[in-house]
Chains A and B, each alone.
Chain A
Amino acid sequence: MPAFILLTVWTAVRVLGRNRLRAGLTMLGIVIGVGAVIAMVSIGEGAKAAVAQRVASMGTNVIIIFPGAMTTGGVRSGQGGAVTLTVSDALDLKKRIPLLHETGWGKRDVMQIVNGNKNWNGTVNGVSPSYLTIRDWSFTSGGAFTQQDMDTAASVALVGQTTVDNLFDAGEEPVGSVIRIKNMPFRVIGVLAPKGQSAQGSDQDDIIFIPFTAAERKIFGTQFLGSVGAVFASTERQEDLAPAVEQIREVLRLRHRLQPGQEDDFMVRTQVDIGKVQEGASETMTLMLFTIASISLLVGGIGIMNILLVSVTERTREIGVRMAVGAKRRHIMAQFLIEATTISLLGGCLGIVLGVVGARVTSVIAGWPTIISPDTVVTAFAFSVAVGLFFGLYPANKAARLNPIDALRYE
């Protein structure tokens, strides 16, 4: 049997070699199909990994509460100005819900920051010390501010890497220097370790953290005293997230005196929810590629079927001769299935090359990360073999069903 398969593959390769153009054109559909499969999977996996990494950069088991009602589609309304979420909300949540390990809060705005002769329009975020622990921020130099800094509304600042790059000369040590935010002096006491993009795609390192109290009194003004831009909470375990969200809603509805049937005036999101939204975006891309892949593989398969039907007709006498010297139906069947599979496998190999190159190019041009795993390549191989076998079945069966004498007499 091995000799039979070997020689049949060799025969198939020679037959294809004789009709290179024909075989090449037939392969095209498979090449594109498998290429699309590879690109699809590697872009999909890359995007998923990137999202996972960004979601992880939020911290561990994080719940985010925004002020303002939620409209359909999860978009916040009443952005910014709403005074529906306060510091006392955050403190009360922590007190009433044992599942919550920690709560923190912050209020942010973009404003001008000056260091010597350099200035930069960056994000300033007034936060509670607990916010920094919830978000898992770490430091490349210096360290976080303390509860005491918070209580005294100390003029201290933590700067992110993007901010450092824009405000300081290369090699200049930010810790210890004094920068001006809205013309108020703040002493830099820590440089934050970079986190990269957020799950929403914004630069998390374009940031200055100052104590929330200092932000209220010295920067943002006291017009909405106690109001926050967002409350952050964390739980010990991931499975506590969902019940914690429910309890947060109950507590906040009570505190905000919302009647039954009245809409929430806040929005609660977990890290997991945010990850899902982002994955959804990459799934759209994946779906598109999946469509291309399916159509190409179908067209490629039909091409193989067509070329094989031609081949069976052209070689009817040969089939007759083979039967006359003792080929059984399954031998003839195997011969044409092997021919079909050879075409689709060759196409598959070219498709893998195309897909890998395509994924690399995509990742360079569009800035998407791509991951090409051995699994993907194996899957693509399996796909091309399956297409060859499936679409080869009909012509192969047609050849095998021939009557020896009719095949021999065929003109």
Chain B
Amino acid sequence: MLIECQDLWKIYRLGDVEVQALRGLNLSIEQGEFVAIMGASGSGKSTLMNILGCLDQPTRGRYSLNGVDVAGLRSDQLAEIRNGQIGFVFQSFNLIPRTSALENAQLPLFYRGMSLREQRAMATSALSRVGLQGREGHYPTQLSGGQQQRVAIARALVAGPSLLLADEPTGNLDTESSREIMAILDALNKEQGMTIILVTHETDIAAYADREIVIKDGRVLLDRNTQAGARPSPSGA
């Protein structure tokens, strides 16, 4: 099992007010799955993704990744996991401003002590993997939203992670760009066996996944397999 969550709680305290973003959530995901997470705004999807991505820690409960209980790890060990095992794609792209596409895509390798030449070579191939060959020198402001998100995907996959987390990756994009992004994620899952967990509001985006999980009030409301024939045909939608 790649991901196992047992009785996951996340409680935010804002002064006297307590917000329970996750309330005893249980979840297991296997290597190679393509999962869509859906649910109303404020239901706890991002909170869950941040915990799965080791960016945040649960208040209570157990999260193990590849059999390792994440709760007991030090900040450096978490950084190593984020660096090597997880790729994260955000709704707002989160590229480093005034920094070229190539350097943005290089970023995870930069923290591995790799030679500059290797970093460049791997980042260049990651960029061409998302169809951005020839745009290596472009700055974020010189790229469209869809292209920026593709740079972010290149950055997420450059280090060869086994898990890719995408929190509403198409939320800021038009239909055409969204389709391009989803085609890339789909190929990563189908061709490379990368595990993908995707948060989305849109059913046609969720339809790319093989499994759909609906979250409500910090718990799993619905968990179903959508593998067979639920995918839209390339012509229709």
Contact = CB atoms under 8 A, between A and B. Distances in A.
A9 to B, nearest CB: 13
Interface in A305-336: 317-318, 320-329, 331
Contacts of A217: none
B170 interface: no
Contact of B115 (A3, A317, A322, A324): A3
Interface string B169-182: 00000000000000
Contacts of A323: 55, 79, 82
B50 A405 contact: yes
A408 interface: yes
A296 B3 CA distance: 56
A408 B56 CA distance: 11
A4 B118 CA distance: 13
B108 interface: yes
Given A318-B97, A321-B94, A405-B50, A3 B79 contact: no
Contact of B107 (A3, A325, A328): A325
A328 B116 contact: no
Contacts of A317: 94
Interface in A1-43: 1, 3-4, 6-7, 11, 14, 18
Interface residues of B, number: 31
Contact of B55 (A324, A328, A329, A331): A324
Interface residues of A, number: 25
B56 A405 contact: yes
Contacts of B96: 318, 321-322
B75 A329 contact: yes
Contacts of B119: 3
Interface in B55-113: 55-56, 75-76, 79-80, 82-84, 88, 90, 94-99, 107-108, 110-113
A404 interface: yes
A4 B110 contact: yes
Interface string A245-264: 00000000000000000000
A322 B116 contact: no
B73 to A, nearest CB: 12
